[in-house]
Amino acid sequence: MALDHALVGVMSEPVERSWDSTAAILYALGVGAGADDPTAELEFTTENTAGVEQQVLPTFGVLAAAARTGRRLGDFDPARLVHAEQSLELHAPLPVAATAQVTSQVTGIHDKGKGALVTSENVAAVDGTPLVTTRSAVFIRGEGGFGGERGPSDEWRRPDGAPDEQVRYRTRPDQALIYRLSGDRNPLHADPAFAARGGFARPILHGLCTYGFTGRALLHALCGSDPKRFGAMSGRFSAPVLPGQELVVSLWRDPDGPDDALFQTSTADGTVVIDRGRFRLR
């Protein structure tokens, strides 16, 4: 069996997903919170600072809506799978601790020639009320050519002119080792031999770690650091990041939509690592 196309459109049974204060803090540390100034983001990195109420970084919603359903996409070498796209929509601010019911479905398997693009949607609900919706895509090399449709195209284009704002964060050399403690134990991000099978000289940073760094930049630059104002973000992973590299998040505010912005994330040498970024305030 290659890819299981019968999965498309089939909703999973609800799966329970729980998190607590410690999980929220560990995630924040995994995406660099407090690294530049340990006192700057205490609401995300501590739970017992006087006068500071703990809050949850909005991009933690991707983990809150992640759950193992027991369904396999098919038989293929997992080293050939890379995270291609990710979107996040928050219906309410994330609680510090909760138990959610997560449902998921594969929404499409698209033929990209040299590989297949598999898209999916997850919804996490608490007490029957949707909390967060995530949509993602993975690219699986070598699984294309089955004669399917290529899927929809995205008309996103980089705005002319300089960004309205840029935010710079440097990742740690051990960033992937910290981030993996939030649950993604893919050896691509820790095991040199496994990374070599995927064509990488050494383990790379999790795409969702780069996504979390980017979400922090959007939160502080566009939301006044208030998670309640963070509505949605989406982007396409276009190149890998190596732990220790600097990330540069470029933001363009939309003059026709004051609550919207476009963004790109690049490394210091200008390589774009998250492309076609969109952000929406609540």
Angle at 103 between CA 212 and CA 6, to 5 degrees: 110
- Scanning the structure block, which residue is given the tokens 């770690």? 209
For residue 157, give both structure tokens: 């284009």
Burial 218-255 (b: 16+ CB within 10 A, else e): bbebbbebebeebbbbbbbbbebbbbebebbbbbbbee
Q: State the Cα–Cα distance between residues 224 and 227, nearest whole angstrom.
A: 9
Which residues lie below 8 Å from residue 257, measured CB to CB, with a gap of 6+? none
Buried b / exposed e across 43-59, counting CB within 10 Å, b at 16+?
Answer: bbbbeeeeeeebbbbbb
How far apart CA 199 and CA 37 sit, in angstroms, is: 35
Q: Are 266 and 250 in contact (CB under 8 A)?
A: yes
Residue 108, beta-bridge partner list: 119
Q: 191: how many CB neighbours lie within 10 A of its CB? A: 12
Instruction: Point out the residues that are catalytic.
Output: 184, 189
Cα(236)–Cα(272) distance, integer angstroms: 10
Under 8 Å between Cβ of 66 and 88: no
